[in-house]
Structure 1
Amino acid sequence: MQVGFTDDRSAVLASQIDPSKPRNVILFIGDGTDDSMITAARNYALGADGRFALDELPFTGAMTTHGLKVGPGPDYQKAYVSDSAPTASAWSTGKKTVDSRVSQGPSTADNVPGQDYETVLEKYEKQGKLTGNITTSEITDATPAAAASHINLRACQGPTDLTNCPTAKKSNGGKGSIAEQLVDSGVDVLMGGGKNRYDQVTDAGPTALTYATTTKGYRLVQDKAAMDGITSLQGGPVLGLFTGGNMTPMFAPLVAAPPPGTGGPDAQCLPSVRGNQPTLSEMTTKAIQLLDNPNGFFLQAESAMVDKQEHASDICGAIGDLVELDAAVKVALEYQKTHPDTLIIVTGDHSHSTQIVGGNTDGKQVATLRTADGDPMTVAYSTSDAGSDHTGSQIRVAAKGPQAANVTGTIDQTDLFLTMLGRTPSTLPGPGTQPPAPLAPKASVVATDNKISKSDLRKKGLRVVVAAAGATKVTVTLSQNGAILDAKALGSDGGTAKLKGKAGPGSVTVTVTAVGPGGTVTDTDMVKVSK
């Protein structure tokens, strides 16, 4: 039986190389997701010859995940097995740090704060991009925390959790707990579990939730229906708190036990009762809808319960949330089809101890399931007599979109920092002595109003926002029924323009045309005209 591809793939891969800087970045994290866990989930859900969407991304590499140990410095000892705080901080800041430290540098001891490191999300906020941070754990947990907060211990999640982080208290001149810092950072879409942390009282008196909604202007949503009801960010940023703690895994538990273990050759995973909690793919769909704009956005999306269920030696819980991670990746890939200037990266934060083994005596704790092939698969957890823990091996990283080729080979987590920010574009080599083929330009246009009166269109004009790349000439026009009402020339990057014209009731069309060495591209938006 032939498995895999038969044709040479060189031309296909070459066509996927895009050295331009991304406008949008979507980073998917499967917490604790390594190749062994991906394989176990694939075997169960699709069969050994199946492929997830994350398996089909054109550029794939290996990523090292080691951190540092506290000490006198400046040469800190390596920590070959790290937790989620320093690993998430590594891609967020481009720098290594110590266990439990969140986007803050190493120091002499756990209770001694390090230097705050600016994150990718914070840098993009300064550039005016919209930002999102979604997870299936508490949003104050280590991985989402590292995107937009800085603290010496990851456990200091809520205002009353600061016993071991006294200098972080706002009453002591600090930045506050992780819960407070996340809303202070101004993340536009912040969703996951963790309402209990926001129900804690701050130094100033009100709860962190009251602070978020009254002082910082966040709109609270607590279930899928409320989330679906938010259709734009015009009313303010969104804070989704769907559970008090971590969100419910997609599958009910099957917890491994000492040999001969749990499950069996006919065992299957069962759906969990999740109530009105949204899935990661549903949160991803909503986040992209809200964040999509001409200036671009950054979104970090974490499937957190893969790791947490691995810690519990729960193979079904981990499999279900890895399958859901892949569903979220499909959402992003669908968006990328019409927004090719979007970089999608899929990876983990560290490896774990889930191993596919030969039989139900090959580990301290084992569980057996029937896969999509109809055959039994046994997994083992052997780092502990009960539960399991992280390991120190390299993990997979895969990507598609602008600068995705930078994940190939063996890289370190810190390398993702520059790739997500956009490295200085390189020049692609051409065949033989021929110059490289120029890339097609990109352009998008959005009208700031979806409805305008005839009078306002004629006197005040319609404001439009244009984003362009790879172009030498950018023109935006206003037309109705094929007749041009107004036209403006913009810079090669686009910009804003006001288009005026005398139009009748109905609709007008805004069209941007970008011309460059690689060709011509257009994009349109429609606006209703009232009497």
Structure 2
Amino acid sequence: MAALAATATLGVTAATAGTGGPALRADSGFTEDRSADLAKAIDPAKPKNVILIIGDGMDDSIITAARNYTYGAGGRFPALDSLPFTGAMTTYGLKVGAGPDYPIAYVSDSAPTASGWSTGKKTVDSRLSQGPSAASNIPGENYETVLEKYQTQGKLVGNISTAEITDATPAAAASHISQRACQGPTDMTACAVEKKSATPAGLGSIAEQLVDHKIDVLMGGGKNRFVQATDAGPTVLDSAATKGYRLVEDSSQMNAVTSLEGGPVLGLFAPANMTTRFAPMVATATGAGGPYASCANADRGDQPDFSRMTRKAIELLDNDKGFFLQAESAMVDKQEHSADICGAIGDVVELDEAVQEALNFQADNPDTLILVTADHGHSTQIIPAAANAKLSTTLMTADGDPMTVGYSTAEAGQSQSHTGTQVRVAASGPQGANVTGVIDQTDLFATLLGRTPSELPPGEPAPSTPLKPAVQVAAATSVKASSLRNGLAVSVAASGAKKVTVTLSNHGRVLVTRALYSNGGDALLKTAQKVSGTLVVKVVATGDGGSATDTRNVRTTS
């Protein structure tokens, strides 16, 4: 893993997170020059595997709000904020017109923005991997996508989302249609000339096209689109079965699939969009929440979360020829439309966990390129007070201080709108340096496919002695013995490690052991065993440069 913090001294303090547990607050400054670390992270080779992770509507404002809530103003997301190469990406699109010079659309929806990186070309609102035209009801030219190109090369491909898998962002990867609303066979009113039963025959609805592509791993919500009858009679699910797809509908069924030898996988985990991590907290004109408000977990049943979907997709796609995976944390956008800050924050946190899954794979497969970005900006703003916005919500952050977020692009009960701001793009791995500076979405197309490698200038040889790991743990100073059934929350920060373990002991007896990510993370140490006196939290980080240990004593109370 190419993390810039590899040689930095860790400095962390415990803070009270909005979710009720300790968080890590990273020192906001650093003392050592990082140029050498950046130079080591540059690799001009074409990647073998490509993982593109999308936060729909995830601009810097919602990233900052989610970071403040989860880790504090001086904190950092363990995975998202560790990627060595970061830049800004413009998101504008086009408007219909006579052409060939189409008017600019400064604020775009997810269809043309996702089509931008999928095809390398600009298009108009609602259009998926299809070029602009004189009017919205006139289809444009179909453009070949990154996913389709990789399929032609013989690579395995995956496409997952927490929204309906037929929604605009996942649809742009492997469908071509003039209206994003034409998701299922009975949704084709606006796309009549593109139906399979049209003359000449079209490609059909988005659901039909995704199945026809025989994408190796296709998972998300949107089952309602696949149970619709096609023009030929059978449902899209029936068609998927004839193409060898195996249907999985919950976490247990997904986990039971261990390879693609039995055929491609179609995961449909909800009738429409999947459930968010946090229950909604919708902004109001008078201000929702309060200075002590926090987000509550939602009941997700047996739906897999985004990081588990990502881990399973990588596990299934991993092969000698390489793979391409597009993974979308979609509910950032959906909940911002609803002015629901908790729902949006939860999906940013889940995106960070999915990025960590990708980084874990990259640690053993350094020929993997990881790209993380958004399709467009959105309406969430961190503001001084409720009076500064039409609608607002206040939450207590990990700093223990209140944060107010506002929404002003629509009134209460209406959908908040996208914005035309540039968005973050970050990368790690081969050719990841191509995202630095200010780029456009269409520039990602060539990076996703692999550019012609350049030659690096000669430099000093890399040091042969591995750096010694560094580690630090944060935990509460006291805990009720009876509450340990629910878990003692601890947070660990590590660098230079390949393996990190944390144990909880009492009077020399180990109660529980947990393995963490190579850069640490959060854990709940649960035990039903009887305890008394002082608990010892011990974390050990081991790597090529040796090992490091840190401990914390936690007093138990009755």
Say whether the fold is shared (TM-score over 0.5): yes
Q: Take 1:420 and 1:38, find their aligned partners in 2: how far apart are those partners? A: 23
What does residue 524 of structure 1 align with? none
What does residue 178 of structure 1 align with? 206
Q: Take 1:124 and 1:303, find their aligned partners in 2: how far apart are those partners? A: 22
* Aligned 1:20-31 pairs, distance under 5 A: 20-31=45-56
The answer as to 2:43 corresponding to 1:15 is no
What does residue 453 of structure 2 align with? 425
Match of 1:258 among 285, 309, 318: 285
What does residue 51 of structure 1 align with? 76
Q: Take 2:213 and 2:238, find their aligned partners in 1: how far apart are those partners? A: 16
- SS of the residue 1:330 aligns to: helix
Asked if the contact 2:331–2:343 (Cα under 8 Å) also holds between the matched residues in 1, the reply is yes
What does residue 84 of structure 1 align with? 110
Match of 2:161 among 112, 116, 135: 135
Amino acid at match of 1:119: T
What does residue 321 of structure 1 align with? 347
Superposition deviation, residue 5 in structure 1: 1.6
TM-score between both structures, scaled by the size of structure 2: 0.77
Where does structure 1 lack aligned partners over 5 or more consecutive residues? 438-531
Deviation digits for residues 3-59 of structure 1 (CA, Å, limit 9, x no counterpart) = 232100000000000000000000000000000000000000111111111111000
What does residue 318 of structure 2 align with? 292
Match of 1:197 among 201, 211, 225: 225
Q: Take 1:3 and 1:321, find their aligned partners in 2: how far apart are those partners? A: 24
What does residue 529 of structure 1 align with? none
Deviation digits for residues 403-444 of structure 1 (CA, Å, limit 9, x no counterpart) = 00000000000000000100000000114xx9x99xxxxxxx
Asked if the contact 2:42–2:433 (Cα under 8 Å) also holds between the matched residues in 1, the reply is yes
Amino acid at match of 2:50: V
Deviation digits for residues 141-186 of structure 1 (CA, Å, limit 9, x no counterpart) = 0000000000000000000000110121111100110000001112
* Aligned 1:347-386 pairs, distance under 5 A: 347-386=373-412
The answer as to 2:276 corresponding to 1:249 is yes
Q: Take 1:122 and 1:198, find their aligned partners in 2: how far apart are those partners? A: 21
Q: Take 1:85 and 1:119, find their aligned partners in 2: how far apart are those partners? A: 13
Deviation digits for residues 464-497 of structure 1 (CA, Å, limit 9, x no counterpart) = xxxxxxxxxxxxxxxxxxxxxxxxxxxxxxxxxx
Asked if the contact 2:28–2:75 (Cα under 8 Å) also holds between the matched residues in 1, the reply is no
Superposition deviation, residue 110 in structure 1: 1.0
- SS of the residue 2:83 aligns to: coil
- SS of the residue 2:410 aligns to: coil
What does residue 450 of structure 1 align with? none
What does residue 488 of structure 1 align with? none
- SS of the residue 2:189 aligns to: coil
Amino acid at match of 2:377: S
The answer as to 2:175 corresponding to 1:149 is yes
Superposition deviation, residue 201 in structure 1: 0.4
Q: Take 2:336 and 2:48, find their aligned partners in 1: how far apart are those partners? A: 35
Q: Take 1:217 and 1:78, find their aligned partners in 2: how far apart are those partners? A: 43
Where does structure 2 lack aligned partners over 5 or more consecutive residues? 1-10, 12-26, 463-558
What does residue 217 of structure 1 align with? 244
Match of 1:280 among 281, 285, 306: 306
What does residue 102 of structure 1 align with? 128
The answer as to 2:438 corresponding to 1:413 is no
Q: Take 2:138 and 2:30, find their aligned partners in 1: how far apart are those partners? A: 53
Deviation digits for residues 260-288 of structure 1 (CA, Å, limit 9, x no counterpart) = x1000000000000001000100001000
What does residue 41 of structure 1 align with? 66
Amino acid at match of 2:427: A
- SS of the residue 1:380 aligns to: strand
Match of 1:301 among 323, 327, 332: 327
What does residue 262 of structure 2 align with? 235
Q: Take 2:30 and 2:300, find their aligned partners in 1: how far apart are those partners? A: 39
Deviation digits for residues 266-314 of structure 1 (CA, Å, limit 9, x no counterpart) = 0000000000100010000100000000100000000000000000000
- SS of the residue 1:352 aligns to: coil
Amino acid at match of 1:379: V
Superposition deviation, residue 98 in structure 1: 0.1
Q: Take 2:370 and 2:87, find their aligned partners in 1: how far apart are those partners? A: 14
Amino acid at match of 1:231: T
- SS of the residue 1:368 aligns to: strand
Q: Take 1:316 and 1:4, find their aligned partners in 2: how far apart are those partners? A: 29
What does residue 463 of structure 1 align with? none
Q: Take 2:172 and 2:212, find their aligned partners in 1: how far apart are those partners? A: 14
Match of 2:370 among 320, 341, 344: 344
What does residue 151 of structure 2 align with? 125
Match of 1:4 among 29, 39, 42: 29
Q: Take 1:331 and 1:5, find their aligned partners in 2: how far apart are those partners? A: 26
Aligned length: 432
- Structure 1 outlier segments of 4+, above 4 Å: none
- SS of the residue 1:250 aligns to: coil
- SS of the residue 1:351 aligns to: coil
- SS of the residue 1:191 aligns to: strand
Deviation digits for residues 317-349 of structure 1 (CA, Å, limit 9, x no counterpart) = 000011001000000000000000000000000
Superposition deviation, residue 361 in structure 1: 1.1
- SS of the residue 2:353 aligns to: helix
Amino acid at match of 1:25: V
Amino acid at match of 1:171: S
Amino acid at match of 1:34: D
Match of 1:226 among 253, 269, 277: 253
Superposition deviation, residue 395 in structure 1: 0.4
Superposition deviation, residue 388 in structure 1: 1.1
Q: Take 1:376 and 1:306, find their aligned partners in 2: how far apart are those partners? A: 21
Superposition deviation, residue 249 in structure 1: 0.7
TM-score between both structures, scaled by the size of structure 1: 0.80
* Aligned 1:376-455 pairs, distance under 5 A: 376-386=402-412, 387-431=415-459
Deviation digits for residues 83-127 of structure 1 (CA, Å, limit 9, x no counterpart) = 000000000000000000000000011110000000000000000
* Aligned 1:472-491 pairs, distance under 5 A: none
- SS of the residue 1:361 aligns to: helix
Q: Take 1:361 and 1:6, find their aligned partners in 2: how far apart are those partners? A: 40
Q: CA RMSD in A?
A: 1.1
What does residue 472 of structure 2 align with? none
What does residue 167 of structure 1 align with? 193
The answer as to 2:215 corresponding to 1:187 is yes
